[in-house]
Amino acid sequence: MEHVFKGKWITNRIFANIKPRNVFHRQLDKLPLDCTEHRNRHILFRRRFQAERPFQKAVLYVSADDYYKLYINGSFAGQGPAPSYHFRYNYNEIDITSYLHEGENVIALHTLYQGLINRVWQSGDLRHGMICDLVLDGETVMFSDESFLTACHTGYCETGICGYDTQFLEQYDSRAEEVGFDRIDFDDSRWEHASLSLFDDHVLTAQKSYMLEFEDIAPKNIKINENRIFYDFGSNYVGYLSLTAKGRSGDKIIIRCAQELNDDGSLRYGLRANCKYEEEWILSEGISVLDQFDYKAFRYAEITLPEGVEILTASMRVRHYPFTLKAKMRREYESVPELKRIWDLCVHTQKYGVQEVIQDCMEREKGFYLGDGCYTALTNMVLTGDDSMVRKLIDDAFSTSFITDTLVTCMDCSFMQEIAEYPLILVLLVLWHYRLTDDIAYLKSNYGKVTSLLDAYRREYEHDGLLRDLDKWCVVEWPKNFQHGYDVDIREGKVCEEAHVAVNAYYLAAVRAANAMAEALGIACYRNEDELEEAFYRTFYDPVRSLYRDGENTDHVSLVGNSFVYAFGFFRDEKTKENILAMLDEHGIDSLSMFCTFPVLMGLVRDSDEKRITDALLCKGAWLRMLDEDATTTFEGWGKDTKWNTSLFHLTMSYGGTFIADADLKKLFKC
């Protein structure tokens, strides 16, 4: 049941009078936006209140745009919400009973309006503020209004931007007068009253996914070299460096974080993934506590200290989505040490990589990507038995139809990108979810969205049974050095006029999946597949070589193009199947990357080809190569040097865990 807020959306006096602006558009339609004036705004709210009688349960309903961290009586109590669009904006329900006491209490929120156009949040839209209701034993006793006090936190200064305009690097100043704003005894006498947001247009909905969990990880190794202290936390994690220091007012500590070391043992804090993790911390007199707002993905940290500064405590505050491993390895794999290592790598990546959304990489983009995200979310569900991340991906992906009815690539954000295959993979995920859960009600709720999506593809792009003239990027395989010379012009930022085998294989597979859904629902099939299959065969099949051509205007055949033919079972004779598998045997699974490997393994499962499945998993150039290169989390490619900006904490290849798990994959992936 949705909570009906008594509280109002509040902000400060600057944002209260700013109208929201549109950040949404089709990718090929440019929309220049000036994001220089209002950005990186750390805006605080606090309110004292009395709990005048004993109570059994205290619940806070709360949200903020772009993000909040919540403190009750000086204690951290949670953060959120999960990224979402303003017209279906998430709020959180937090049990704060243990944080309150009879008498005077204080609620304090640290909110951020980031203001950048990126893949993280729907920001740059000039929407900011917070809303809350405090309910004690069913009665709303306090809510957001102008009685809240607000101030800008002056302790945060940007020192650069890293990734794809992903996050601000921070200089945190412990001398700022707002430090300690969360405590009851903090002096807020100079703060101003909050303002009602005059142009608020948020439509609030309860966040259906869980809130983050936190762990404090102690360093596994510490080295001290004169004025430098080196920390190794043993693995890549996502979170915040947590430090307490003693020094003089104005002392400056340099903080560097990294995912790997250089050959000489120094930190590679200029990450491969286009992030330079170097920041500053200015101390107050006496004891200071580091309070960085945004998170990073790292394993190592090094701090450079001024003379006389002492580090009192050091740890890493790790954040991740709730994760309980329910799946087990297939019994025949348990005795293979290399498969156990790969399993542990994939499980660890899933446990500590999934955040409030399924992100692709943890540092460069932090994006909630459709496409490979479908494989990652499915893996999370296979490993945990929890379908909440799959549901969030499905629900949020379909919600992007307000931008275009053929959906966009990256969800719940202001960065506009469209990749043609990704919505078609979403259709498969809807079917996979049903096959794992038998949740017919959820399938029914999504079936109309699936057919509307396919109708839109049919209307906009289908000609004579084939997709062509796509004003969406066709990624096929990524990066380009894994495309096996795929001979179609699929460059991003232009219309792909030519019908080609990869996107049409996805399209035909999606139509088949819709028909399988209709069968499960006991209704008429979505559409006859025969004309699509015939057009596919007639256009791409080369009867001389018994293989499929890349496109309608080329004679080139590639393993990449044929991998999708094999994955979805579109070959008409055993000879073609044998030829595709011969290509796979010749080139190896490590010659493919994230978008072909999963479909190929899916096809091998369908065919019960246990030897090739095992050979693929144990390929020296695949997951074992990551491990040989000291991976603690899966890479964006098979190795550190297989991409120009490789993320060393990338969720996609954790899908290896799906194919090691003791699960009924034949039922899941049947055609």
206, 207, 213, 214: CA torsion to nearest 10 = -80
What kind and span of H or E run contains 105?
Answer: strand 103-113
The two structure tokens encoding residue 408 = 């966009």
Q: Write the pLDDT tens digit of every residue in 153-180.
A: 999 999 999 999 999 999 999 999 999 9
CA atoms within 13 A on the CB side of 537: 13
The Cα–Cα gap between 132 and 134 comes to: 7
What single-letter amino acid sits at 458? R
The two structure tokens encoding residue 572 = 């008409």
Other residues' Cβ atoms within 10 Å of the Cβ of residue 38: 16
The Cα–Cα gap between 68 and 48 comes to: 18
Q: 284 to each of 151, 154, 171, 618, how far by Cα in Å? A: 20, 14, 13, 53
The Cα–Cα gap between 412 and 397 comes to: 9
Where are the alpha helices (H) located in 462-551, listed in sequence order? 501-521, 530-540
Q: Write the pLDDT tens digit of every residue in 323-367.
A: 999 999 999 999 999 999 999 999 999 999 999 999 989 999 999
User: Residues 17, 134: contact at Cβ < 8 Å?
Assistant: no
User: Residues 248, 288: contact at Cβ < 8 Å?
Assistant: no
Q: Is 117 helix (H, G, I), strand (E, B) or coil?
A: coil
User: Residues 140, 133: contact at Cβ < 8 Å?
Assistant: yes
Q: Is 65 left (phi over 0), alpha (psi -120 to 50) or beta?
A: beta
The Cα–Cα gap between 582 and 585 comes to: 5
The beta strand positions in 455-496, using DSSP E, are 462-463, 466-467
Residue 252: which pLDDT band, with cuts at 50, 70 and 90? very high
Residues 487-512 as b/e (b if ≥16 CB within 10 A, e otherwise) read bbebeeeeebebbbbbbbbbbbbbbb
What single-letter amino acid sits at 180? G
Of 423, 424, 419, 426, which Cα lies nearest the Cα of 492? 419
Residue 449: which pLDDT band, with cuts at 50, 70 and 90? very high
Q: Is 87 helix (H, G, I), strand (E, B) or coil?
A: helix
Residue 406: which pLDDT band, with cuts at 50, 70 and 90? very high
The Cα–Cα gap between 74 and 107 comes to: 8
Instruction: Output the CA angle 504-510-512, nearest 5 degrees.
Output: 105
The two structure tokens encoding residue 628 = 């040989």
Q: Which residue has the tokens 């951290």?
A: 76
* Angle between the N-to-C axes of helices 594-606 and 610-617, in degrees from 0 to 180, rounded to the nearest 10: 150
The two structure tokens encoding residue 283 = 């101390």
Task: State mean pLDDT over 181-194.
Answer: 97
Helix%, strand%, coil% for the chain, nearest 5? 30, 25, 45
The Cα–Cα gap between 393 and 374 comes to: 8
Is the peptide bond preceding residue 337 cis, with omega within 30 degrees of 0?
Answer: no
User: Residues 462, 527: contact at Cβ < 8 Å?
Assistant: no
Torsion over CA: 71, 72, 74, 75 (sign):
negative
What kind and span of H or E run contains 168?
Answer: strand 167-173
Using DSSP bridges, classify how beta strands 139-143 and 89-95 pair: parallel, antiparallel or unpaired.
unpaired
Q: What is the pTM of this model?
A: 0.97
Q: Write the pLDDT tens digit of every residue in 12-52.
A: 999 999 999 999 999 999 888 988 889 999 999 999 999 87
pLDDT for the residue numbered 117: 96
Residue 7: which pLDDT band, with cuts at 50, 70 and 90? very high
Q: Please, what is the average pLDDT of the chain?
A: 97
Residue 503 has pLDDT above 90, yes or no: yes
User: Residues 24, 403: contact at Cβ < 8 Å?
Assistant: yes
Task: State mean pLDDT over 119-145.
Answer: 97
Residue 671 has pLDDT above 80, yes or no: no
Specify burial of residue 291 (Cβ count, 10 A radius: 0-12, 13-18, 19+): buried
- DSSP string spanning 618-643? T-TTTHHHHHHTT-SS--SSSSTTSS
Residue 185: which pLDDT band, with cuts at 50, 70 and 90? very high
Task: State mean pLDDT over 398-410.
Answer: 98
pLDDT for the residue numbered 30: 85
Q: Write the pLDDT tens digit of every residue in 507-551.
A: 999 999 999 999 999 999 999 999 999 999 999 999 999 999 999
Residue 125 has pLDDT above 80, yes or no: yes
pLDDT for the residue numbered 369: 97
Q: Which residue has the tokens 């608020």?
A: 200
Task: State mean pLDDT over 647-659.
Answer: 98
Task: State mean pLDDT over 289-301.
Answer: 98
Q: Is 36 helix (H, G, I), strand (E, B) or coil?
A: coil
The two structure tokens encoding residue 484 = 């096996």
The two structure tokens encoding residue 145 = 């209004």
The Cα–Cα gap between 418 and 420 comes to: 6
φ, ψ (nearest 5 deg) of residue 169? -75, 145
Contacts of residue 264, defined as CB under 8 A and 6 or more positions apart, other chains included, come to: none
The two structure tokens encoding residue 222 = 């510490």
The two structure tokens encoding residue 2 = 């949705």
φ, ψ (nearest 5 deg) of residue 255? -115, 125
Distance in angstroms between the alpha carbons of the first and the last residue of the chain? 38
Residue 1: which pLDDT band, with cuts at 50, 70 and 90? confident
pLDDT for the residue numbered 38: 93
Of 617, 21, 646, 4, which Cα lies nearest the Cα of 329? 617
The Cα–Cα gap between 257 and 128 comes to: 30
Of 178, 177, 182, 157, which Cα lies nearest the Cα of 169? 157
What kind and span of H or E run contains 446?
Answer: helix 440-461
Of 376, 482, 360, which Cα lies nearest the Cα of 426? 376
